[in-house]
Amino acid sequence: MSVAAVRTVPAQPTAAVPSSIYPADPQSSLQSAVQQIVQQHHGSVALFAQQLNTGKQLALGADTPVQTASTIKLTLLWTLLREVALGHAQWSEPISLHPGEAVAGAGVLHFLDAPVTLTLKDVTTMMVILSDNTATNLLIDRFPTAAVNANMTALGLRNTWFYKKISVPATGPMPADQPKFGLGKTTPREIASVMERIGRCDLNLPGQPGLDQSKANAACKIALDMLRSQFYRDTIPRYLDALDSAEAANGIASKTGSLNATRSDVALIAGKSGPIMLAVYTYNNAAQGWSVDNEGEVTIAKIAKAVVTAWSPQGIDGKQLVPGLGLRDASAGTAATPSNESAPGGTR
């Protein structure tokens, strides 16, 4: 597979930075650097990257439908945020876990004695930072997948589907491709657009009245704080956390997904030269162990470092990871949809 050409803009002068964050060969392009990483991976790789303020893009199989694992939870998060901004849900509302409802896998809720009652914010936090499967199922009871999928369709995302609850048989007919994809389906480009909308705080749906942006911002700030508190940091943040000295303001908001043969991560990275949207999926992986050195996780981490090194050589700054990402048109308050240019081609 070949990496699509990187779209560039004239270089801007930058301050001196440590040579250790530059590629070994300063003349190598991001395209060739990523191609080398992909060729060394024992499996398949699909990705979409874009620096939102410059329009630079990098794509590899960006429109290929992939198994999402837990990254599909971003679509549930977007729907939840919209409902909070509309006033149809409250962060303080109670969500109860009853005996027999817990499912195994990622998270901590299945270790608690039921019944137990938490707030919507507590349960959402567990879904995001721990990828808690039980928490996800509780949120699906509150915000059904049918509503989530209707929202994604309204946003024009034809290949993004959240099929069902985790570790629970489907209730009702499923699309024909559900057995192939399991929990969910998306493409790197489409799921990147969902994360971008959370970052830009664009919770609007086409053809429907625009939301009160101040209420949307309040909801998105809470979500970004959750995403930047991601517990699983061995993929996109792996080599980048060291570039961010502001520990109180982490510069990476991300959501991971893992299955035996799949590792994925979708993130907003607060580059000092501009925010970067990155979605990377490794699948058909030969390495299926669950150590932190799993090849799929390391491959994602290498790609993330190559992208940030090329597009934001000064590193990252968490202070810029705020609703709107500093990019919002004050007169519109909406997010730009990523270009749809063609490009080559236990759940956690």
| Residues 67-102: tens digit of each pLDDT | 999 999 999 999 999 999 999 999 999 999 999 999
Structural domain contains residue 338: no
* Within-domain flag for 183: yes
The pLDDT of residue 348 is above 90: no
pLDDT at res. 217: 97
pLDDT of 334 over the 60 cut: no
As a whole-number percent, the residues of the chain with pLDDT over 90 amount to 76
Model pLDDT, residue 11: 36
- Whether the CB-CB separation of 70 and 105 falls below 8 Å is answered with no
Q: What is the model's pLDDT at position 64?
A: 97
Banded pLDDT at 239 (limits 50, 70, 90): very high
User: Does residue 57 fall inside a structural domain?
Assistant: yes
Average pLDDT, integer, range 25-50: 87
% pLDDT > 70, the chain:
84
Q: Is the pLDDT of residue 322 over 80?
A: yes
pLDDT, average across residues 97-110: 91
**DSSP H helical ranges for 24-167:** 30-40, 73-86, 120-129, 133-142, 145-154
Residue 18 has pLDDT above 80, yes or no: no
Looking at per-residue confidence, does 7 or 182 come out higher? 182
Which pLDDT belongs to residue 140? 97
CA distance readout (Å), 104 to 109, 111, 166, 216, 264: 9, 9, 9, 33, 20
Task: Give the list of residues 6+ apart from residue 190 with CB closer than 8 angstroms, or none.
Answer: 157, 158, 159, 160
Does the structure show a pLDDT above 50 at 331? no
Q: Tell me whether residue 5 is in a domain.
A: no
> What is the model's pLDDT at position 28?
61
Q: How far apart are CA 273 and CA 271, in angstroms?
A: 5
Q: Is residue 302 part of a domain?
A: yes
Mapped onto helix, strand or coil, the DSSP state of residue 282 is: strand
Is cis: bond before 115, omega within 30 of 0? yes
- Nearest Cα residue to 105 out of 78, 77, 126: 126
pTM value?
0.86
Of 308, 251, 245, 278, nearest in space to 22 by CA: 308
For residue 149, the enclosing domain spans 26-89+143-320
Contacts of 257 (CB under 8 A, 6+ apart): 68, 69, 70, 71, 72, 131, 263, 264, 265, 347, 348
3-state secondary structure labels for all residues of 3-22: CCCCCCCCCCCCCCCCHHHC
CB neighbourhood size of 228 (10 A):
21
Query: How does residue 124 score in pLDDT terms, banded at 50, 70 and 90?
Result: very high
Mean of all residue pLDDT scores within the chain: 86
Q: Is residue 332 part of a domain?
A: no
Answer whether residue 12 is part of any domain.
no
Residue 7 reports pLDDT greater than 60: no
Beta bridge partners of 46: 281
Residue 226: which CATH number? Answer: 3.40.710.10
Span 159-213, pLDDT tens digits: 999 999 999 888 778 899 999 999 999 999 999 999 999 999 999 999 999 999 9
Between CA 68 and CA 257 the distance in angstroms is: 7
Arithmetic mean of pLDDT, 329-343 = 39
CA R_g for the chain: 19
Q: How confident is the model at residue 319 (pLDDT cuts 50, 70, 90)?
A: confident
Q: What is the pLDDT of residues 248-276, one digit of tens each?
A: 568 999 999 999 999 999 999 999 999 99
Neighbours of 328 (CB within 10 A): 18
Does residue 345 lie within any of the structural domains?
Answer: no
What is the number of structural domains in the chain?
1
pLDDT at 171: 79
Which residues have CB under 8 Å from 268's CB, separation 6+? 195, 196, 198, 199, 224, 227, 252, 253, 254, 275, 276, 277, 321, 325
pLDDT value at 118 more than 80: yes
Phi, psi of 103 (to 5 degrees): -125, 155
Strand 94-97 and strand 276-283: the pairing is unpaired
